[in-house]
Amino acid sequence: MPSSSPSSTPSSNRVVFLHGLFGRGKNFTRVAKELSPEYRSLLVDLPNHGESDWTDVVDYRQMADSVAETLRGDFAAEGPVAVVGHSLGGKVAMVLALRHPELVSRLIVVDIAPTKSGGEEGEFAHLLDSLAALDLSTVERRSDADEALQEAIPWDTTRLFLLQNLRSTEDGYTWEPNLELLRTSLATIGGFPDADGATYEGPMLWIAGGRSDYVREEYTPIMRELFPSTYKVTIREAGHWVHSQAPETFVEVLREFLERTGQD
């Protein structure tokens, strides 16, 4: 889903955004608008999310290859582009850079590391179970779902974020993400595939949320082993959803990196 920026934008000024678990490309709409018109953006719905196809398994290599195929077909046909990935999307972005470095001019990974993500599997299992348990046949409007989920998911921001995935059809409401597959694949989602000796030598920005524990100091050696040109920035006022919790600072940091590395 490209932005409305001119199609003549050079590949060096093109940016791909990959969302996290439960997300969709539109989550980065505000950031893409802030980067326009200097940068043209592609907002991707990853497999099993948004309007993308469902798959039989969750596999980071397959997801990265799927994104690579999309980029080669159009957005990166004229040269490598910058890739931004948050959480799940950050892992896909890292695997993409390792497997298809010719497509990635610059890599930006937001609040995730190329390691097993500890601690969140139980939280995500609860959220997925809560969504799956909702009887959609009783939902006549989105507010019905919101009310039904309040006890299981009492945090308004989290609940409203998840409800973005509820789609109205002629046959009633349905969930766009493949909830069953995501639920059974949480161990895979929380992990990271073997890099098989590959490294990505291009410029890499690692953005951490200061109120999140997804990026820890002990993860730095493995990040620098796979991505030797890593530059880390911590946005202190943000938690895990850095781009939505501190949007102004996030855009400022992202733009500065894009402009600096685009001149190299």
Residues catalogued as catalytic: 87, 180, 240
Classify strands 166-169 and 172-175 as parallel, antiparallel or unpaired. antiparallel
Longest dimension (CA), the chain: 57
Count H helices, E strands: the chain? 11, 8
Tokens of 155: 């945090």
CA angle centred on 205, ends 200 and 211, rounded to 5°: 130
Task: Extract the tokens encoding 125.
Answer: 């299992």
Buried b (16+ CB within 10 A) or exposed e, 100-114: bbebbbbbbbbbbbb
Alpha-helical (H) ranges within 22-87 are 29-35, 60-70
Angle between helices 156-163 and 121-133 (to 10 degrees): 60
Those residues whose C-beta lies under 8 Å from the C-beta of residue 116, and which sit 6 or more positions away, are 190, 191, 192
Q: Which amino acid is at 70?
A: T
Q: Please give the DSSP secondary-structure letter assigned to residue 144.
A: H
Helix (H) or strand (E) holding 107: strand 104-110
Place of tokens 């796979």: 226
- For residue 232, the surrounding DSSP H or E stretch is strand 230-235
